Amino acid sequence: MPEAKPLLAEQLASDPRLAEARRLIAEAVGEHQAAVDGPRPADPARAAGHQQAVDSFFASRGAPLWYPYLGSGFGVGPLVELGDGSVKWDMLSGIGVHHFGHLHPEFVDAGLDAALSDTVMQGGFQHNADAAECMARFIRLAQAPPVGGGTGSSLSHCFLTTSGAMANENSFKMAFQKRALEGHPADRMLAFEGTFCGRTLALSAMSDKPGNRVGLPLAMNVDYVPFLDPADEAGSTQRAVKRLQEHLARWPGHHAGMKLELVIGEGGFYPGSRDFFAALVGPLKEAGVAVICDEIQTFGRTSRPFAFQHFGLDEHVDLVNVGKATQVCCTLFTDAWAPKPGLIAQTFSGATSSIRAGLRVLEACENGGLFETDADRGHVLALGDAVRGRVRAYAAKHPDRVTGPYGVGCMFAFQPGDGSMATARKLCETLFDAGLIAFVCGRAVTRVRFLLPAGGMSIEQGHAVCDLLEEVLDGFQW
């Protein structure tokens, strides 16, 4: 057979002028980043112009954002520069999106790859080879065997999408369709109390947050199951199983799936446990109800890439939704829950820049030392333990100021003072002024949450963040 000629795309990628351009860009970025080693105050000369830009943005948007700032587009790891010239520790990470920090060199290089591609967006009628590679990597990562040996998940398919909300929507549609085709009414879903799912009509109905549904029609029937109570693990597990069985008995054949939020995020950063989830899986499997893991916020933040792997649910998961840290979102599913033609499709599966960045994320997940192996605990747990350990020690010394921390790995929260929204918001605003960006979560009580950008943050930087946090807590007017 004749030897294949290099594709024009391959010839362009190997052009020595581009290699030199990449080298120069990396060199320039690195030199400018070297000037940033910690927070810095705003430039007074920029205050008026930045405020004007923020006001204009809010007017265009129709509502303000929680924090009154716009980013400059520059940063280094967990440090971000704002439009007023200040630099702050970013412990919110775009609510988990910027898991590799700001202006990470791998993402800069991935952006150059995307800029040299023929399309900005990829989708149903124009997928390039990088999208195929991205899906294959997602599947390989999801099927990886557990630490210590065993069988990985049976997730063998991947559907890319532009948002975590669409990843959730697609999984629900697959669950409803399969159950309906099996002859079941399939008009209900199950979820945990306190769950958050997204802001489409269906996902607003799923989210256990009444304020998100004001004025909206009911798009989906949802039955809720209580989550694990760490103060009463055995009792709360029994109550959860009992409630689940009651729902299944009351609506036989009506439930298509149960969305498992393995760490309740927006509700307050409550992690489940292996035994708790295993107790629920039995009744779900017996009833033929899909086990759906919502990993939009948990991916990359526990001992393994997927939280379902962290909790030992590999053999049980039917559908898994991923987003945020992965840059491009997706729904992973097994053969048994594959959709019929026409059920899921969309013009855009993702931006080429997102897909290229996603490939770098998945490469780091496989080979970057982030996660637990037989020989090492991994950087995610090491960083999380270091920072949460500092917060735990502070709470032990000052229980009137701080309770907690709660969460797992690199997603955790603590309760400030009385747990009111007013106290939590005031503390977040004080932290922001001091050079640290955090956010709130919780329902009955309000907590301050951190989503550490583990892929771009060192343990030493974690301790620097804790130094600033403790300084603010010591001087805070409770």
For each of the domains in the chain, give its residue range(s) and CATH number, in order of start.
Answer: 115-367 (3.40.640.10), 379-475 (3.90.1150.10)
Length of the chain as a residue count: 478
CA-nearest of 278, 267, 319, 270 to 295 is: 319
**Distances, alpha carbon 236 to alpha carbons 195, 250, 289, 408, in Å:** 17, 21, 22, 19
| Predicted TM-score of the model (pTM) | 0.96
CA triplet 193, 194, 200: central angle to 5 degrees?
A: 105
174: amino acid identity, one letter:
M
Q: Is 171 exposed, middle or buried (0-12, 13-18, 19+ CB in 10 A)?
A: buried
CA torsion sign, 59 to 61 to 63 to 67? negative
User: Which sign does the torsion angle of CA 423, 425, 429, 434 carry?
Assistant: positive
Question: Rounded to 5 degrees, what are φ and ψ at 406?
Answer: -120, 155
- The closest alpha carbon to 129, from 216, 252, 13, belongs to 13
Instruction: Report residue 287 as tokens.
Output: 């009833």
For the record, the structure tokens of 88 come out as: 């702050």
**Distance between CA atoms of 69 and 65, rounded to whole angstroms?**
8
Report the candidate in 465, 171, 132 with the shortest Cα–Cα distance to residue 338: 171
CB 70 within 8 A of CB 54: yes
Contact predicate 183/215, CB 8 Å: no
Q: Which of 161, 166, 153 is nearest to 135 (CA)?
A: 161
Give me 216's structure tokens: 């909206």
Token pair for residue 406?
């709660």
pLDDT per residue of the chain (478 residues) written in tens, 0 to 9: 889 999 999 999 999 999 999 999 999 999 999 999 999 999 999 999 999 999 999 999 999 999 999 999 999 999 999 999 999 999 999 999 999 999 999 999 999 999 999 999 999 899 999 999 999 999 999 999 999 899 999 999 999 999 999 999 999 999 999 999 999 999 999 999 999 988 999 999 999 888 888 999 989 999 999 999 999 999 999 999 999 999 999 999 999 999 999 999 999 999 999 999 999 999 999 999 999 999 999 999 999 999 999 999 999 999 999 999 999 999 999 999 999 999 999 899 999 999 999 999 999 999 999 999 988 999 999 999 999 999 999 999 999 999 999 999 999 999 999 999 999 999 999 999 999 999 999 988 999 999 999 999 999 999 999 999 999 999 999 8
